[in-house]
Amino acid sequence: MSQNTDGQICFGILLEEGTELPWDEDDECGYGDVEEWWMELNGYTPPFEIWEKNSAEYLSDITSEMRDQYYEHRRQWKKANPVPVELVNYCSSDYSMYILALPETCINANRGYPLPFEPNDLVVSSERAIELVRFCGKYDIDIGEEYPRWWLSSYWG
């Protein structure tokens, strides 16, 4: 098994260790799924159920065509209702520390695969920065005195 060591750039807010996020779950790892939270928060309803209740098994009468339709419906909804933030882990898979970033600003380069980019393209409008701060306020994400800025970080996964 190999170890990922990725370089990353993003525009966001560095979160203090232990910052509570509205999508956190009370489970073993303590981290919820921001996409699932966003979908539920915004009223996503699947076209039909494909899962056994409280199980990771498909219902017995679900065909592969039905699964395709189910997941296509989710993809289309997510495309029309994108999550306005992305969590960028700037530490490791064993010890997660996060930047709450604007998704369109996240650039990731995997070890061994250099990625060209233009530094002049690293521009974010003040409106987008304000939207990120307002998102944090709306969902009670404590950012203290932090403000959005560009971050160059690494990830050891």
Q: What is the pLDDT of residue 30?
A: 47
Name the least confident of 1-10, 26-35, 99-108, 117-126. Answer: 26-35
Both structure tokens of 39: 């979908």
More confident residue, 2 or 96: 96
Average pLDDT, the chain: 91
- Percentage, residues of the chain above pLDDT 90: 74
- At 76-133, the pLDDT tens digits run 999 999 999 999 999 988 888 999 999 999 999 998 899 999 999 999 999 999 999 9
pLDDT at 61 over 80: yes
pTM for the model stands at 0.86
Both structure tokens of 93: 């898979």
Report DSSP letters for 15-56, one per residue.
PPTT---TT--SSSS----HHHHHHHHTT---SS--B-TTSS
